[in-house]
C-alpha cells in the first residue's frame, strides 16, 4: 500500500453469485481504480451469519466470490483481497464501536426492518448490530472512500457518525469516510421489475443475470425482459423504464453512449433489440466465465491469496486497533 494514495474499502457478502449489475456497476470500475488507490476488497463472511448458513455452502461461496474478483480483473498484488473472518481486528473494533453507537441509530436502519420481516423466525442480536461491524470494516483501514449503492447510504452515514463521535472524545483517530460513486458506473435494474435494482438476493431468477449464467440462459432471460408500451427504442426512465434499463446495459457492455444505442436501433423491434442485448452481455461475460472456471478449480492458489492478503490487511487493521485501545485506556500487551 502506498502512503500518498487514498484508500478505498468495499465489502461483499458471499451470499450468492454476483450479477451483471455488480459487474457493470462496481467490479469493472474497481479494476480501473487499482492503480490509482489503495484498495481493500473484503469478502464479508462474518456478516452472513445474521441469517442461518449451511457451513459447506458458505465456504464454497467464499471461494467463489474471490474467484469472481480475480476473473473480473482484480489483481491480488495490487488489491488486498481477503476474508473478513481472517482478520480478528474486525470483531475487536466492532465491540469498541458498539459502545459508541446508540440504540436509536440502529433501530432506524431500514435493512434491519426489512430482514426482520423476511426472517421473522430469526431476529437475532447480530442482525440488529451488524451495521456496527460494517462501520468497523470501513474504519479499520482509515478508508477515505467507500463505493456504495442507495441501499447502503444509511450504513455509511452511521460509520461517519461513529467516527466523528469517537474523534470528538479522543482526538483524531478515524478518517471520516466519503461515499464513492464512479462517474462511469452503470446502475442496472431488474429485468422483470425495472423500478428495482438488480439484486443477487432476488427470489425471481428472471430478474437478474449472474456473471456465471450460461450463454443460453442469459439470452433467454433478456428475451423475457419487461419492455414498455409503444415500439420506440428510446431512453426515458419515467415513461420507458424497461427499455431504458436495456439501453443502459447495452451501452455499458459496448462502451457507447445511450444516444449511440438509440441511433443504432432506430426503427427496430423490441424483440430484436432484446436479443442483441442478451448476445452482447453473453459475449462480455464469456471470457470472465472462462477465467472463473480456472480460478475456482485451483483452491490451493485461492488459499495462498487469502493467506498473503490476510497478513497485509491484519498489519493495517491491528495498527488501528492498537491506537484505539490505547486511547480508550486499555493496557497494551
Q: What is the pLDDT of residue 139?
A: 98
Angle at 252 between CA 251 and CA 253, to 5 degrees: 100
**The predicted structure's pLDDT at residue 123:** 79
pLDDT at 199: 83
The set of cell numbers assigned to 210 is: 449472474
Quick one: pLDDT at residue 33?
87
Per the CB < 8 A criterion, the answer to whether 253 and 281 are in contact is yes
Q: Is there a contact between 73 and 31 (Cβ–Cβ < 8 Å)?
A: yes
- Residues facing 210 on adjacent strands: 19
The tens digit of pLDDT for each residue in 23-58 reads 988 888 888 888 899 999 999 999 999 888 999 999
Contacts of 233 (CB under 8 A, 6+ apart): 243, 247, 261, 262, 265, 266, 268, 270, 273
**pTM value surpassing 0.95:** no
Q: Where in the chain is the domain with CATH 1.10.240.10?
A: 205-293
Which regions in the chain score pLDDT beneath 70?
16, 112-120, 150-151, 182-186
**Residues with a known catalytic role:** 115, 197, 200
CATH superfamily of 7-181+299-328: HUPs (3.40.50.620)
Can you give the pLDDT at residue 4?
85
From-to residues of CATH 3.40.50.620 in the chain: 7-181+299-328
Architecture of domain 205-293: Orthogonal Bundle (1.10)
Model confidence pLDDT, tens digit, residues 116-138: 666 667 778 888 899 999 999 99
Q: What's the Cα-to-Cα distance from 209 to each of 28, 199, 295, rounded to whole Å?
A: 16, 9, 21
pLDDT of residue 113: 64
- For 122-179, what is the HEC assignment? CCCHHHHHHHHHHHHHHHCCCCCEEECCHHHHHHHHHHHHHHHHHHHHHCCCCCCCEE
Query: pLDDT (tens digit, 9 = 90+) per residue, 101-121?
Result: 999 999 888 776 666 666 667
Amino acid at each position: 500500500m502506498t502512503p500518498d494514495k487514498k484508500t478505498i474499502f468495499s465489502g461483499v457478502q458471499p451470499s450468492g453469485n454476483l450479477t451483471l449489475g455488480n459487474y457493470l456497476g462496481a467490479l469493472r470500475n474497481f479494476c480501473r481504480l487499482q492503480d490509482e488507490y489503495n484498495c481493500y476488497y473484503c469478502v464479508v463472511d462474518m456478516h452472513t451469519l445474521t441469517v442461518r448458513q449451511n457451513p459447506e455452502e458458505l465456504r464454497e461461496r467464499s471461494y467463489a466470490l474471490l474467484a469472481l474478483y480475480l476473473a473480473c480483473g482484480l489483481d491480488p498484488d495490487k488489491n488486498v483481497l481477503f476474508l473478513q473472518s481472517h482478520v480478528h481486528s474486525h470483531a475487536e473494533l466492532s465491540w469498541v464501536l458498539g459502545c459508541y453507537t446508540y440504540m436509536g441509530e440502529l433501530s432506524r436502519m431500514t435493512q434491519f426492518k426489512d430482514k426482520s420481516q423476511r426472517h421473522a423466525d430469526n431476529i437475532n442480536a447480530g442482525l440488529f448490530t451488524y451495521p456496527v461491524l460494517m462501520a468497523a470494516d470501513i474504519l479499520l483501514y482509515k478508508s477515505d472512500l467507500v463505493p456504495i449503492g442507495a441501499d447502503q447510504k444509511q450504513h455509511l452515514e452511521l460509520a461517519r457518525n461513529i467516527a466523528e463521535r469517537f474523534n470528538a472524545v479522543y482526538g483524531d483517530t478515524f478518517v471520516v469516510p466519503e461515499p464513492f460513486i464512479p462517474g462511469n458506473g452503470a446502475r442496472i435494474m431488474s429485468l422483470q421489475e425495472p423500478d428495482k435494482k438488480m439484486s443477487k438476493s432476488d427470489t425471481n431468477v428472471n430478474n437478474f443475470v449472474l456473471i456465471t449464467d450460461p450463454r443460453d440462459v442469459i439470452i433467454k432471460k433478456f428475451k423475457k425482459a419487461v419492455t414498455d408500451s409503444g415500439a420506440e427504442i428510446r431512453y426515458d426512465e419515467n415513461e420507458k423504464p424497461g427499455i431504458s434499463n436495456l439501453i443502459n446495459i447495452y451501452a455499458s457492455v459496448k462502451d457507447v453512449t445511450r444516444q449511440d444505442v438509440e441511433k443504432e436501433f432506430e426503427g427496430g423491434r423490441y424483440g430484436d433489440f432484446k436479443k442483441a442485448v442478451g448476445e452482447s452481455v453473453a459475449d462480455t461475460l464469456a471470457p470472465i466465465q472462462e477465467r472463473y472456471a480456472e480460478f475456482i478449480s485451483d483452491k490451493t492458489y485461492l488459499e495462498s491469496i487469502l493467506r498473503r492478503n490476510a497478513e497485509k490487511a491484519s498489519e493495517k487493521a491491528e495498527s488501528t486497533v492498537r491506537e484505539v485501545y490505547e486511547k480508550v485506556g486499555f493496557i497494551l500487551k
